[in-house]
Chains A and B, each alone.
Chain A
Amino acid sequence: GENVEQHPSTLSVQEGDSAVIKCTYSDSASNYFPWYKQELGKGPQLIIDIRSNVGEKKDQRIAVTLNKTAKHFSLHITETQPEDSAVYFCAAIDYKLSFGAGTTVTVRA
């Protein structure tokens, strides 16, 4: 089955700086890579996703890149704001969704 590794486990950034979270996956058959944001006491919510036929995708301050050859994908958040503080999960799907362990992002004012 798929194995997703996520780094770092915690990330503290100054407001306005960028944050980068990296994930690797093991199954070359995986073709869908979503990123979820989870706020305290809530369920995860999709913030951006990318499919294997695309190398990069942007949505305002959030971007995701995918390198299928190296089997890694990354989340980039630019101009971070306090409301970006949350736990972020990457995931990859072969026949089911496999999640990384999560990154706790803290944006310092």
Chain B
Amino acid sequence: NAGVTQTPKFQVLKTGQSMTLQCAQDMNHNSMYWYRQDPGMGLRLIYYSASEGTTDKGEVPNGYNVSRLNKREFSLRLESAAPSQTSVYFCASTEDRGDEQFFGPGTRLTVL
């Protein structure tokens, strides 16, 4: 099992460009999450999907959109990137809400 995979690992964008971060899990988990990690701020939840077909906003959703494509895949889209979105992005999945979350290796995004 690969667990949670994310692509790309690194990305540099110019302000205003768009891109989609991909996440997939092979553990048959119901719930998937997108976090951003900034120095001194821990991980903050952007969006989550409690089950296939549902998505909800987290703590910092502005400037992002998500798609739960199927049970395995959960993508995060930046429509018009801003320098404030420079961060490391982590995808995670869990069988159910009160269970261990498994994290992917992260995507390091720089917006110039």
Contacts and interface: CB of A to CB of B under 8 A. Distances in A.
A98 to B, nearest CB: 8
Contacts of B101: 34, 46, 97
B105 A42 contact: yes
A34 B103 contact: no
A25 to B, nearest CB: 13
Assign chain A's interface to a size class: 20 to 34
B98 interface: yes
B42 A1 contact: no
B58 A34 contact: no
B59 A1 contact: yes
Contacts of B58: 96
B112 interface: no
A31 B98 contact: yes
Contacts of B74: none
A56 B43 CA distance: 25
A89 interface: yes
Interface in A1-49: 1, 6, 9, 31-32, 34, 36, 41-46, 49
Given A1-B59, A100-B42, A102-B42, A32 B98 contact: yes
6 contacts: A31-B98, A43-B105, A43-B106, A46-B101, A101-B40, A101-B41
